[in-house]
Amino acid sequence: MADVTERTVTEQVKHHAQTVAEDTREKVEARIKGEAEAAFDSVANQMHRHASAADAAAAEFDPNSMQAQAIEQVAARIDDLANQVRNTDIDRLAHSLSDAARRNPLLFVAGATLAGFAATRFLKARDPEPRYAHPSDDPWARDTVPPNSAPTIVGGNHVSADPTSRGAV
């Protein structure tokens, strides 16, 4: 009897865990999809702004000039691309990426790594204030470092307090 009760409890716990996992997966998928749609909309809006700026630049030229026509064509292409980005089906895109990853996992991992590096560089470039571990690391503050200042440990690396030193000691 106790064995049957244990199995029943185990099955109930297993079923509950599966239900919770499924609910969590659905919530995560919905959030990721929402974030992706917001990012796509943001990119599309930015592209529309660039297309409008190109149209404004074209208006500065004689309407029949080659420059105006070329800029108008560029603006139209940017606007078309923005509409394509805005109308992209996130589910279909995710399915296509999943299929591509299954067909060629090494290429997918390499592409994801490259995208990660690009995103990191982009986010670092957006940081308005560079962060220096020690004033001696700031090339513009070399004269302001006290001669006997203490060294700083950054990420496990010993950084010299000597203003003439360029790197780890």
Q: What is the pLDDT of residues 10-49, one digit of tens each?
A: 999 999 999 999 999 999 988 988 888 888 888 888 889 9
Task: Find the length of the chain.
Answer: 169
Is the pTM above the cut of 0.85? no
- Of residues 106, 161, 103, the one with CA closest to residue 135: 161
What is the C-alpha separation between 67 and 64, in angstroms, rounded?
Answer: 9
Low-confidence stretches of the chain (pLDDT < 50) are: 158, 167-169
Backbone angles phi, psi at 15, to 5 degrees: -65, -40
> For the chain, how long is the longest CA-to-CA vector?
93
